[in-house]
Amino acid sequence: MASSNTWFAKLAQKSAKITGSSPAFLTVCLLTLAWLLSGPFFHWSDTWQLIINTLSNIVAMLMLFLIQNTQNRESAALQLKADELLRAMRGAQNSFINLEELSEEDLLRIKERYAKLAENARAKGGLPPAPAASQ
């Protein structure tokens, strides 16, 4: 399974780089313009409309998975970098490594604890309290 995962990861990376480029955007614009200009030749038929609808739906569905894969990979890499910074920093709380694995309630409890610490620090420093954040 690892080889197919690697294959897909490489394909996703290469596809994301290509589809996110200026030439790809210009190509799509030109194809759309060509489709639009071809309308009178096909008498604005249902088939003519079906072509663009079908193609755009297929491309949108494929791009959805491609973007999600790219986002997941980048998020995981960023999290690993943050974990390494926490691990390497003297005085940092190593308990924050893998924080993203905690439940929503645990994260909320930690957030509230740090909000109170920040509030106390502002009061001690003579700064006005931060505005209340909506959740």
**pTM of the predicted model as reported, rounded to 2 decimal places:** 0.60
pLDDT digits (tens, 9 = 90+) for 104-132: 898 889 888 888 888 888 888 888 888 77
Query: CA separation (Å) from 74 to 9, 27, 62, 71?
Result: 12, 27, 18, 5
Taking residues 51-69, report their average pLDDT. 92
Average pLDDT over residues 16-41: 92
Q: Tokens 């309630």: give the residue.
A: 105
DSSP letter at 99 equals: G
pLDDT of residue 92: 79
For the chain, the domains span: 2-97, 99-128
Angle, helices 22-38/46-88, rounded to nearest 10 degrees: 170
